[in-house]
Structures are given as structure tokens and as C-alpha cells.
Amino acid sequence: MKRIVMIILTSLMVFGLTGCIKDDSTAIIEDEDDQAPVVTALSSEADEDADADVAEDKQARIDDTQALTAIKNYCYINMPGLKDIEDSGKGTVYWDISSSDKNEIVVMFRSYTGAQVRYYIDSATGDTFVTESVPEISDEEKKTDEHFNVRDFSDGEIVNVYEVTDSELSEEYMAEGKYVTIVRYFEMADGTWKTKFNSYNYRLEITGQADGMEKECTLVYLSNIEDIPFEQAYKAAGVSSSYEINNEDCFDQKDAVLVAMKW
């Protein structure tokens, strides 16, 4: 049984799967006579776009603190292993404000490789482009292909990063009762949690013993559901062939996602 679990666990890690995912898709077919006039739909969409533009105009400008926090979050999310290097002191890593005025903020990130990456942020819209230079080779800044909106990374501050466990260490960790992390996730300063794509209010450690298992296992879910029964968590994890998995047992990833486990 343990070998079967290892094979399934390896599949989860290699293919980036997180157990079963609820399929809420439905196909809606309407009679042509029942369809609303196209002009009405276009008018509604135009009104929504106008409302969105007004809301964006009312957004406060980004300040230096928000810009610095957002760029750090961006780097942690998009550069696996960066937080470990920073915390271990194995490489020189830091961020600072290179320049700032009412229109633009420039945040400089000094990478452990020696490169200097500068993020040019429009303080009104949040639109950001990136340049890179390597002082030991050339001070010339070269624009990269990166382009994003810094507001997408400004909802809180990342304080801890949980990296995916190296596949070569998974069996050893299982034997030692250590957590095997299958999805990279982040702890926020306000006590919430994030994956790269979603935010969650809870980190649940759900422990139990399934039929046919020699000992208990613990499944770690990031969740917006306050409590998840072990049986449902175990079925949704997809690590056992003993249970028939139904769509009702699975989670929408916005509601809950399996990120780690141990035996």
C-alpha cells in the first residue's frame, strides 16, 4: 500500500496535480428565439467597462511602501528558492527604492547572482516594466519581456514560502514522518495563505486513518472552508484506490487545495 501511495504522490508532484478538482462546467443551449438582442449585451458590457474605469480612476496612487512590498511578493512568487537563499544568507539579496516621484517608482532588486533588476512602476495605474543589468559586466540596463501590474501582488506581505519537496527526497521524508509538499504556497503577514493563483483563510492539518492504511496520515489543505472531514479530504486527495471518487468529494481550487501530506 505504501508503494502505491508513493507512485500516486510522485504523479501529483511531477504533473503538478492537487488531487481531484470539481468540474462545475455546464453546457447551456438556447433556442435562437430566446436569445437576448446583441445590442443589449453590448450595452451592458460597455456600462460595466465604464464603471471599471471609474473605479480605477478612484484608486489611490501606489506609495513607496506598497511598491516595495508588492515587488518582494512578485519575486518570491516567481523565483522558487529565493526566500530560502535570503533566509540562509547564502547569497546577497535585497530590495530598495532607487527613485520615486508622483508618477513613477523604481524598485531595485539585487539578486544573489549579482544582477540588478529594476522594476519601473506607474504609481497611478500599477503597470510595471523591468530592466536588468550586471554591474560586473555592464551598467547598461536592458529591458526584459516582463510586464505586469504591481497591484496584483499588493494584497498583503509574504512572510514565509513553502517550497515543493524535491522528488528524490519524498520517500525519505515519508519514512521519517516529515511533510512532503506538493504545491508551492505562501504564508501571509495577516495570517492568511496563498498559492500562486488563489488566496485562502485557513491552513488545515487533517489527520485520520483510512481503510487499509497501516497508520494515520495527515493531509494539509489551504482552504476557505473552516472544517473538512478526513474522509472527504482523503478522497479528494486522490491517493487511494480504495475509494470511488465522485465529483461531490472534490473541491473547487478557489475553495480548497491539497498542498502537503505526511504518513
Kindly indicate the confidence band of residue 24, based on its pLDDT and cuts at 50, 70 and 90: low
Helix (H, G, I), strand (E, B) or coil at 239: coil
Kindly indicate the confidence band of residue 9, based on its pLDDT and cuts at 50, 70 and 90: low
The range of the structural domain enclosing residue 198 comes to: 2-22+157-262
Helix (H, G, I), strand (E, B) or coil at 176: helix
Kindly indicate the confidence band of residue 178, based on its pLDDT and cuts at 50, 70 and 90: very high
Domain boundary among 153, 175, 190: 153
Are residues 110 and 144 located together in one domain of the fold? Answer: yes
In degrees, rounded to 5, the angle at the alpha carbon of residue 155 between the alpha carbons of residues 111 and 66 is: 60
Domain boundary among 97, 122, 153: 153
Q: What's the mean pLDDT when you consider all of the chain?
A: 82
34 vs 248, more confident: 248
DSSP 8-state class, residue 37: P
Q: Which of the residue ranges 66-75, 77-86, 241-250 would you say has the lowest mean pLDDT?
A: 241-250
Are residues 9 and 105 located together in one domain of the fold? Answer: no
- Quick count: other Cβ atoms within 10 Å of Cβ 118? 20
Domain boundary among 115, 137, 153: 153
Alpha-carbon gap, residue 168 to 179, rounded angstroms: 14
**Any domain includes 255:** yes
Are residues 138 and 170 located together in one domain of the fold? Answer: no
pLDDT at 241: 55
Are residues 138 and 122 located together in one domain of the fold? Answer: yes
pLDDT at 49: 59
Any idea of the CA torsion for 139, 142, 146, 150, to the nearest 10 degrees?
A: 50
Which grid cell sits at 56? 480605477
Residue 183's contacts (CB-CB under 8 Å, 6 or more residues apart) are 16, 18, 164, 195, 257, 258, 259, 260
Which grid cell sits at 77? 512568487
Asked if pLDDT for residue 183 goes beyond 80, the answer is yes
Which grid cell sits at 83? 526566500
Domains identified in the chain, total number: 2
With a threshold of 0.75, does the pTM exceed it?
A: no
